[in-house]
């Protein structure tokens, strides 16, 4: 389910993803058209009250149920530095297997990390990095 974040004028194309209780918000860079994932992302009170609560209320339709929710966990997109760490970890996993099984030493430079990190799909999370590196 996609809901537009029209109440946030600073974001040109912010979308809320609600697959059951997760929320992600990302921004399209106006010049390049690419996703820009900020390093420091927080979920503001305004976002919770004006975007998340109405979506939950529309979905569950009962205030009694919403009153029983003690806390919500927000799944935010990875930052560029986190993506580089994930790619490095996955490459090290495959390098270790190559050495153990075939005595082949794998090495890579920063450009490889950047290209693989660009394969990140915000809808699939870390799984998209695993597929980008391993398959």
Which is more confident, 60 or 99?
A: 99
Whether 35 and 29 have beta carbons less than 8 Å apart is answered as yes
The confidence score (pLDDT) of residue 107 equals 94
Distance between CA 77 and CA 39 in Å, rounded? 10
Segment 61-69 mean pLDDT: 83
**pLDDT tops 60 at residue 15:** no
**pLDDT tops 50 at residue 133:** yes
The secondary structure of 46-113 as a DSSP string is HHIIIIIHHHHHHHH--HHHHHT-------PPPPHHHHHHHHHHHHHHHHHHHHHHH-------HHHH
Per mean pLDDT, which range of 38-42, 51-55, 99-103, 131-135 is the poorest? 38-42
Contacts of 133 (CB under 8 A, 6+ apart): 87, 90, 91, 94, 116
């Amino acid at each position: 389910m996609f809901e537009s974040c029209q109440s946030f004028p600073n974001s040109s194309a912010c979308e809320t993803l609600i697959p059951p209780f997760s929320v992600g918000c990302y921004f399209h860079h106006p010049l390049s058209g690419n996703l820009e994932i900020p390093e420091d992302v927080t979920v503001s009170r305004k976002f919770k009250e004006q975007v998340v609560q109405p979506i939950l209320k529309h979905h569950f339709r009962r205030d009694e149920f919403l009153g029983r929710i003690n806390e919500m966990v927000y799944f935010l997109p990875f930052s560029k530095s986190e993506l580089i760490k994930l790619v490095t970890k996955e490459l090290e996993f495959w390098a270790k297997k190559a050495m153990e099984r075939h005595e082949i030493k794998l090495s890579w430079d920063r450009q490889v990390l950047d290209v693989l990190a660009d394969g990140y799909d915000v809808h699939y999370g870390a799984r998209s990095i695993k597929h980008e590196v391993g398959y």
